[in-house]
A and B are shown apart, each in its own frame.
Chain A
Amino acid sequence: MTSFMPPADRIWWKVPVGREEIVWILIALTWCLIMFFMMPYWHIYGKQNLSNEAYQTTPAKYGAKVQEGIDQNKVGEEAGVPIIHPPAGSDVYMLARLWQWWPILELEKDKTYRLHLSSMDWQHGFSVQPININMQVVPGYEMVLTVTPDQSGEYGVVCNEYCGIGHHTMVGKIYVKE
């Protein structure tokens, strides 16, 4: 009956600790250190990292860049949404707004793109499925991801940050061509 009574020893901090606890603390601490080293390790040797490149922006400024990208690279339209085919290695602009991802991207497999993302209104979630890459899209901030799609196919961009009543209709597309 002591967990809710004052410790038996008045100087409890001088009571020696049992071996079992010491061993466990050392094991747990070692594991925590391994987990710590995994993150810097992956920054150096892993291929999936975030650049942390981001800029403050406004919906008007960002919207103009997206429109410029559409004007230059538009190759078609699907369900009223323009499809762009930007040159490999270029800056690609996509925006999120209630309730659309705009425009549709057509990318080439194994080519690298600088993908810019921002929101025109509320917060949105950029969730590429089924590959399952998820990013937060925040109004006022332009995030840049250097992305190299290495599997071809058709990908859905689901919004996974709640953005009001039409949230579930907010789906975009990315096509990755061979």
Chain B
Amino acid sequence: MAQFRTCPDTGLYFHKSAESLIKANAVAAAVALLVAGILGLLVVLTRWQAIHLLPADQFYMALTAHGIDALIFWIIFFEMAVLYVASSVLLRSRLATPAWGWVQFILMLVGAVMTNVAIFQGNSSVMMTSYVPMQAAPHFYLGLILFAVGALIGCFIFFGTLVVAKQEKTYDGSIPLVTFGAVTAAIIAVFTIASGAIILIPTFLWSIGYIAHIDAEMYRVVWWGLGHSSQQINVAAHVAIWYLIAGLVFGARPMSEKVSRAAYLLYILFLQLACAHHILVDPGISSEWKVFNTSYAMYLAVLASMIHGLTVPGSIEVAQRGKGFNNGLFEWLRKAPWENPVFSSMFISLVTFGFLGGITGVVMGTEQINLIIHNTIYVPAHFHATVVTGTTMAFMAVTYFLIPVLFRRQMILPGLAKIQPFIFGGGMTILILFMLGAGTLGVSRRHWDMDFTGAALGFDYPGMAYTLMGIGAFGGVIGVVGGAAFLLITVGSLVFGKKLEPSAGLLQSFGVPLAASCYTDKRPETLPRAAPLPAGHHTSSFEAPGTFVLALVLLVSFVVYYFINWKYLASVWPLS
């Protein structure tokens, strides 16, 4: 019999089995974030040339583990939790096949540990991309494969739960927008994992000597079907979280269900092809194919992100104006709850993802411009804006929400929590901006020593490159402090926070009863449709003028920056 509990603060329903799984995945994610953060600190302190902390072998080992723990393990464990929330919790449905949920969790855990062991044994410092013919230990690939199989199971449990919810009529009408976003993420995840299987399974077989040769260019093409698409899962997931938090904090309703859902559909249709922008300066790939993939495909996905970039803050503005914050263009934003980390973290995520991550991503994904950016430190600067200040801050925002609601603990250190998003977001923004600058000066990514110590032939970077890398690394240190504050607050709350009511943890899934019986066998009431808008609401005037102005600021920055880069490209040697 499925057992449910109601959150007295939010009215959300938790299916006991789902609740335990959400907690397990969220905690595993936090552990991965902790490891990734420590490694990130070691990496920035090494690339800060004045400190140059680690020796070369340890630096490459730390950088490999940092990439995999942050980009894969932290984010995908958390996304499993998001999928369970978006299906079981939001739809008030029992989770389909909870036992398979534990298979998901254990496979991912074993995979994550196995790959980390392989890296720290020292023979698998191959970076996250593990480009062949550089070879890692077999269990490096095997761990990733097990992890991916676990994630795939998680996606199918999610789809199964949608079917259960539909059949048992746990909701009225169509699925909510947030769940729709999670469906998008899960669909992208399925074909991402398929790409991963196509390339990682042969590579594993090659590492144990069963296959003689893997073509290096084929590896790059297929691997990026995994590597880039997996970042699109993040985008779909964190946009869903933006909508969720806009609803939770402001009671915001989507400006248009049709527009927001159509934008998600564009992600599904066009994102997979966009991974071509990683191989724009590779041998043997035609311009027609590159232009097709980066423009036709990627720009329609970019269009989708530009739409969400308007509709998420727009929905907040409409909700705030409805509450009377109507003065001028921006009172709704000034009077937003900036002291609430759920909001501030989400809003920083939105702004940095658009202004830093989005613009730089499109610029460097342009066929010709890529040749002045490929493999410079501009690239990690870009994806730290998308996955750190973008995805990670959205996940942090929802974690602040889940501590009291899911874990039933009062948050400790509320004063620190108020400023944590600004420390983390501010530090990482410094890191990103200055690494972008250093990349423009040609500083290489994944490089231990910009002094080229021991090289037979030398090259001197301009002094400015050292300055930019130093300031960027300093920002990285502040970011790590902000990340540590996040873990201190969240993990500390789980351990030391005041207990609100009992809620199911890991043990309850295996039959250990809770102290108080707060769960009932009673099925939750059917999730009703949202209240209709008051009559005459739809007018032809602009509902969210402030947001529209912000969107135009984004557009102008985008256009100016885009053409600056063409100008810069025009200054390099003619090539044809």
Tell me which of A3, A56, A127, A165 contacts B247 (CB under 8 A): A3
Q: Contact: A52 with B444, CB < 8 Å? A: no
Known A-B contacts A39-B366, A48-B368; A142 and B283 likewise in contact (beta carbons under 8 Å): yes
Q: Contact: A134 with B575, CB < 8 Å? A: no
Say yes or no: is B259 at the interface (Cβ < 8 Å to chain A): yes
Q: How far is the CB of A4 from chain B (nearest CB, A)?
A: 5
Say yes or no: is B496 at the interface (Cβ < 8 Å to chain A): no
Known A-B contacts A15-B256, A49-B576, A149-B573; A6 and B173 likewise in contact (beta carbons under 8 Å): yes
A72 to B299, CA, bound (A): 48
Q: Contact: B57 with A165, CB < 8 Å? A: yes
Tell me which of A1, A7, A47 contacts B575 (CB under 8 A): A47
Known A-B contacts A3-B243, A136-B283; A162 and B533 likewise in contact (beta carbons under 8 Å): no
Give the chain A neighbours of B368 by CB distance below 8 A.
39, 42, 46, 48-50
Q: Contact: A6 with B548, CB < 8 Å? A: no
Per-position 1/0 for B542-573, Cβ under 8 A of A: 11110010010001001100100010011011
Tell me which of A15, A79, A138, A150 contacts B573 (CB under 8 A): A150
Known A-B contacts A4-B90, A6-B176, A156-B459; A49 and B575 likewise in contact (beta carbons under 8 Å): yes
Q: Contact: A3 with B177, CB < 8 Å? A: yes
Q: Contact: A139 with B527, CB < 8 Å? A: no
Name which of A4, A12, A133, A145 has the most chain B CB atoms within 10 A of its CB. A4
Q: Contact: B299 with A36, CB < 8 Å? A: yes
Say yes or no: is A32 at the interface (Cβ < 8 Å to chain B): yes
A59 to B533, CA, bound (A): 69
Within 8 A of A (CB), among B224-259: 243-244, 246-248, 251-259
Q: Contact: A4 with B176, CB < 8 Å? A: yes
Q: Contact: B457 with A173, CB < 8 Å? A: yes
Per-position 1/0 for B451-478, Cβ under 8 A of A: 0111111111110000000000000000
Q: Contact: B569 with A48, CB < 8 Å? A: yes
Q: Contact: A135 with B374, CB < 8 Å? A: yes
Within 8 A of A (CB), among B112-150: 127, 131, 133-134
Q: Contact: B307 with A134, CB < 8 Å? A: no
Per-position 1/0 for A1-19, Cβ under 8 A of B: 1111111111011011111
Q: Contact: B258 with A3, CB < 8 Å? A: no
Specify the main secondary structure of chain A where it touches its partner: mixed
A104 to B256, CA, bound (A): 61
Q: Contact: A171 with B458, CB < 8 Å? A: yes
Say yes or no: is B362 at the interface (Cβ < 8 Å to chain A): yes
Give the chain B neighbours of A173 by CB distance below 8 A.
457
Q: Contact: A21 with B458, CB < 8 Å? A: no
Give the chain A neighbours of B456 by CB distance below 8 A.
79-81, 100, 169, 171
Give the chain B neighbours of A10 by CB distance below 8 A.
173-174, 529
Q: How far is the CB of A66 from chain B (nearest CB, A)?
A: 16
Say yes or no: is B306 at the interface (Cβ < 8 Å to chain A): yes
A18 to B257, CA, bound (A): 11
Say yes or no: is B310 at the interface (Cβ < 8 Å to chain A): yes
Give the chain B neighbours of A15 by CB distance below 8 A.
256-258
A147 to B572, CA, bound (A): 10
Residue of A nearest to B247 (CB): A3
Per-position 1/0 for A133-162, Cβ under 8 A of B: 111111111110111111100001011111
Q: Contact: B442 with A32, CB < 8 Å? A: no
A16 to B460, CA, bound (A): 60
A136 to B445, CA, bound (A): 13
Within 8 A of B (CB), among A96-129: 100, 104, 117, 121-123, 125, 127-129
A-B residue pairs in contact (CB < 8 Å), sample of 15: A3-B247, A18-B538, A25-B259, A28-B303, A32-B299, A49-B368, A50-B281, A52-B286, A80-B456, A137-B283, A142-B283, A158-B442, A164-B134, A168-B449, A172-B457
Q: A1-B530, A138-B220, A141-B216 are in contact. List 11 more A-B contacts (CB 8 A).
A: A2-B247, A3-B254, A7-B173, A13-B258, A24-B548, A36-B296, A52-B287, A139-B133, A158-B444, A168-B449, A169-B452
